[in-house]
Structure 1
């Protein structure tokens, strides 16, 4: 029997535009594209899919330290049959070519326990996430936050400097139900003197329940995703540029994939658990125009000031979101991205 994983991931990235950057970051700095020094360290004589056939080095300085990134081309987050399309206001799809060679992964020179995920566009602008043992550094185009700086500047910031909306409040961003909590030890399970009773064969105590022990080994570790960016996302996060929108979405999912892939999933602390779960992007659809609708109709990409989450998801499922063709043995996923 085939197993299916249905994923609906709603990414509200519009806060970058709606609120001041000073409200979201404690500290940041900017660098110009001319400050990035990059060159090819190694290029194989023949084209090859081997990760070390091409090695690129990128150098820059920010936050008081020098960064020397050793990078190789990366295609792992893209499905082997990856496709990208732009959709006009009448729903017509047009294919978009994506340069796979602009995506890299690697490490910081001198830091064995580091990881870098990088996209370099043809204008020399970098989008990157650099993970070190004690900190994560992010690099993004500055126009998303500081449009007055133009298109040749980037902002850099540390993950520890991000002001999360729930900081300083008593509320938590996530709630959960702990599976099997009733099987764990609690004060009621401890034996008191009163619970012992004398019998002919000696003391008798109430036996504790034992949790069932089992191990699970996943056979399918990648969930293929369909990413759909509406017109507002295309405008605000993609700078009204289809390729910038697509590259941003790929970089965004790559971060999510890294988190999932490195997470050890386990039911209980004593179980070994498993890891290596993640995502691949099979198709990206970018709406370059608002969808034209008749009177009384609703569409997730129509001109509308606000959506609440429930109505947006319902309209996404009702209005014929472009689908991905997925074999029954592969778990499908759908991702809706809205500004």
Structure 2
């Protein structure tokens, strides 16, 4: 039996617990949060959502992760914190020496993220970051179809309303929409089309000036250049009217030779030059698949199947933080230098 402990009782922990409850080899042993009532509520939501036949979730609740480690001695850890909370806790859990799944965004500072990445490498622990969309069969099909194909342009636009969490609207706590939310699309752009070498961005607060305690950009427009020479466009706004949700319905669009490919976690649509099109639907829960893959890696000690290790997620973080830096300074940012740091 693999004993799992989760640190942080937000929505991502609920999703992970719901997935883990479906695995016979897993016991959800502990849930840690500074607010025990929030942890109890998260566990209750996960129990409400788990499918028939899955294992009831009866995790011990802790308010201190160090006390939890001593009392429970879990076999692996899920670190599901708001972005601003990363830091010493990451290092303490890495020193514990057990496999870790860390939710995105992994940090709000490249220096801290580089330190954590180096510590993970030093400890040689199995590690994963929660970019679950990489585990979708629709995304995997898109990867296969684009392999060896000339890429012309890559586009991702996301329009949504403002989330309700107060910390989300504070730049120092969330990193803004691009880093906290649109990061999944940026990660898919890299996964599908290769590394990004250069970014330039503009952004501002155009429609949300009356929102209390908001200092994140409510609109962003970024242009990027891939190593293969293809340009990319990343645009987002968290000031769209309520109900606008995500538009268009695909996360990433790729203009390639003889086709346009559009993909999200549930389907890939390919439109060919001759006017024909094909659609690949996925019925697989990508979050469940990511959790299964991680738990398998915990059991075997082999993380070959993990599609987003920390070192790779570091590059996605670099793209989003470099775009933010570019928008703040008005300067283009060479990504490799930004990634490596001073």
- Pair in the same fold by TM > 0.5: no
Whose strand proportion is higher, 1 or 2?
1
Whose helix proportion is higher, 1 or 2?
2
Q: TM-score range by the shorter chain?
A: under 0.3
Larger of the two Rg values belongs to structure: 1
Greater RCO, CA 8 A, separation 6+: 1
TM-score, normalization: structure 1? 0.22
TM-score, normalization: structure 2? 0.22
